[in-house]
Amino acid sequence: MTTSEIVLVLLVGAAAALLKSITGVGYPLTLLPMLALFMDVSDAVVIVAPSNLFLNVKLVWGMQDERKNTITLPRFLAGGCVGVVIGALALPHLRDETLRWVIVGFIMVFLLNQLTSKALVISEPRGQTLAPWVGSVTGFFQGATGLSGPIVIPWFMSLGLRRDTYIFAVSAVFGLTGLLQIVVFAAQGLFTVELVWLGAALIPMAQLVFPFGKVIRERVSVEAFRRIVLVLLACSAVSLVARML
């Protein structure tokens, strides 16, 4: 990577971390497409993993009181643990082009979910039944691509959770699956020296902007910011498709 590319990654990483601190989601979904423009997707997934874990741990730690309101979360996490190990083990064996198309698909699903006005509602008993299965699918895609937001977001939104409970729940999912993902990556020797340094450089950028996200979340509407991010994601998807054609 050139110096200008590294600077660009750090700036996009800061913007993605700000989005994450405001909404609880969007960090890898914003950052991975940018990284995939000039490196292998598998390397990009490895780079993003440590800072993504850091952000999720910070959110969960600061919102522990919401744990009592997430009834289906333990069963979801149990399924996610199984799925993420399988997905992370599969990562080195997946074609880079396949991963790029998966990322584009995830972005499109996420955008459609954000733009639709229809709200799916899942009752608590049905949520308890489906949680382990949805969790396992979530874990697989988190382990293999570093992206599971398009599954996690509509799932927890459909349970009718309050804003803070929702942020706690999705951060807990991303945090636990992200930790297992890193363990499996390390066991496979995927953390080269260069990737470790790049991944580590994203953490102070995330730490720098994190307090601003909390202020924005508590005092300012995030609708305009959300729309900007949606446009950025759409442009990233178009860029990835253009490079593959």
Long-range contacts of 32-38 (CB under 8 A, 24+ apart): 32/103, 32/145, 32/146, 32/147, 33/103, 33/107, 33/233, 33/236, 33/237, 33/239, 33/240, 34/8, 34/9, 34/236, 35/9, 36/100, 36/103, 36/240, 37/236, 37/239, 37/240, 37/243, 38/1, 38/5
pTM equals 0.79
User: How confident is the model over 200-225, as pLDDT tens digits?
Assistant: 999 998 899 888 887 887 776 656 66
Rounded Cα gap, residues 214 and 209, in angstroms: 9
The answer to whether 161 and 69 are in contact (CB under 8 A) is yes
CA dihedral 128, 133, 137, 142 (to 10 degrees): 50
pLDDT tier for residue 129 given thresholds of 50, 70 and 90: very high
Instruction: Please tell me what DSSP assigns to residue 2.
Output: -
Looking at mean pLDDT, say which of 96-100, 155-159, 160-164, 174-178 comes out highest. Answer: 174-178
Q: How many CA atoms are closer than 13 Å to the CA of 164, on its beta-carbon side?
A: 12
Rounded Cα gap, residues 193 and 33, in angstroms: 22
pLDDT tier for residue 102 given thresholds of 50, 70 and 90: confident
Complete DSSP assignment for 30-85:
HHHHHHTTTS-HHHHHHHHHHHHHHHHHHHHHHTGGGGGG-TTHHHHHHHHHHHHH
